[in-house]
Amino acid sequence: MRIVINFITIVTFLAVFCFVGCTKDKQHPGLKPEIKFLKAAELISSDTILAINQKVKIGIEASSKSGAPITQLTVISSFDENTTSIDSGLYSSEFQYNIEITKGLAETEHWRFYVKDRDGNCSDTIGLKLFKDESSGFGPIQSFGNIVLGAQFNSDPGSFYSYETNRTYTISEAYDNQQIIDLLYYYDIVESDAHTIASPGANIDQAIYNSDLAPANWTTRTTLRFEYLPDLTAEDFESCTNDSLILSNTFVFGSGKRKAKNLSPGQIYAFVSETNERGIFTVQRLEGEANGYVEISIKMQEQ
């Protein structure tokens, strides 16, 4: 009888031990993560009045309180009545995040942040507002006209472009100058893509260039995002002499498309770089396919 009792005691002990061990990462289930603004001289953490084009940085810090890792950061930006929400995936018990913002034309910008852990617990939402300084004006622009880019089988001119140098590069030249290459052009046999302008950081199929020098193999890959502007005309583009048109048609980097696809003459696209360089370009001419070319003109904020 004593043997049976001892056996039951051991089994009970092992069951309790396993239960505790399997649930150790849920020390406080149901507790929501904590999120707060970082405070530092170079960061803002409360409502602020800014001039158009003024750049500021916001920092946040978040940590899990349930024992489950944080798996999602959501950034919500509202420009007057226009709202964009961007979710970013992660996996960490705590982290810090900084975002640089360039004040646009909106009278009020509302920036909000919250996180969610693996168990679905959401933090509170924190936010601040950026108000436009009514005394501020528009800034100067740079114009780059009649840029001709060859498709992937047309090396004269090259397929790659840098607006720092305002010149085109062949694939071998671009490989040697990765840090300054901003745009590239190719023709994709996928009908919905066809004539495409992208940046080296886009997810470009290795078969497009079929070379070890293709952007997928670069160590430095600048990334731009794009947005089609169907309401703008050639006259709008030509009359743009300051950055008012750019600012009124810009977007949050994370919400843009990685490629400007299925291009045709007359189209106008906005672009934003990962370092907040902003501009617009218009398609002037297209010729051929993978051995053809595109001609564009660019107007962007002066850096």
User: For residue 10, what pLDDT is reported?
Assistant: 37
User: For residue 28, what pLDDT is reported?
Assistant: 65
Question: For the structural domain made of 34-132, what CATH number should be given?
Answer: 2.60.40.10
User: For residue 81, what pLDDT is reported?
Assistant: 82
Pairing of β 48-50 and β 126-132: parallel
Mean pLDDT, the chain, whole residue set: 90
User: For residue 27, what pLDDT is reported?
Assistant: 59
Nearest residue to 64 via CA among 99, 90, 43? 90
Domain ranges of the chain: 34-132, 141-301
Handedness of CA 185, 189, 194, 200 (dihedral sign): negative
CA distance 166 to 128: 38
User: For residue 159, what pLDDT is reported?
Assistant: 97
Is pLDDT of 60 > 60? yes
Whole-number Cα distances in Å, 79 to 99, 126, 131: 16, 17, 10
pLDDT in tens, 177-226: 999 999 999 999 888 899 999 999 999 988 899 899 999 999 999 999 99
Mean pLDDT value of segment 62-86: 95
Do the Cβ atoms of 19 and 13 come closer than 8 Å?
Answer: no
Mean pLDDT value of segment 54-65: 96
Mean pLDDT value of segment 263-274: 97
CA 135, chain centre distance (Å) = 30
pLDDT in tens, 2-26: 333 343 343 433 343 333 333 334 4
User: For residue 235, what pLDDT is reported?
Assistant: 96
User: For residue 224, what pLDDT is reported?
Assistant: 98
User: For residue 285, what pLDDT is reported?
Assistant: 97
- Report long-range pairs for 40-43 (Cβ below 8 Å, ≥24 apart): 43/98
User: For residue 25, what pLDDT is reported?
Assistant: 43
Stated pTM of the model: 0.79
Mean pLDDT value of segment 100-120: 95
Do the Cβ atoms of 222 and 204 come closer than 8 Å?
Answer: no
Give me the residue label for tokens 């158009």. 52
Is pLDDT of 43 > 90? yes
Nearest residue to 70 via CA among 98, 96, 44? 96
**Which residues are within 8 A (CB) of 141 and not within 5 positions of it... i.e. 6 or more apart?**
240, 241, 242, 243, 246, 279, 299, 300, 301, 302
pLDDT in tens, 82-101: 899 999 999 999 999 999 99
Q: Give 257's DSSP letter.
A: B
Is pLDDT of 141 > 90? yes
Vertex 30, ends 25 and 35: CA angle to 5°?
90
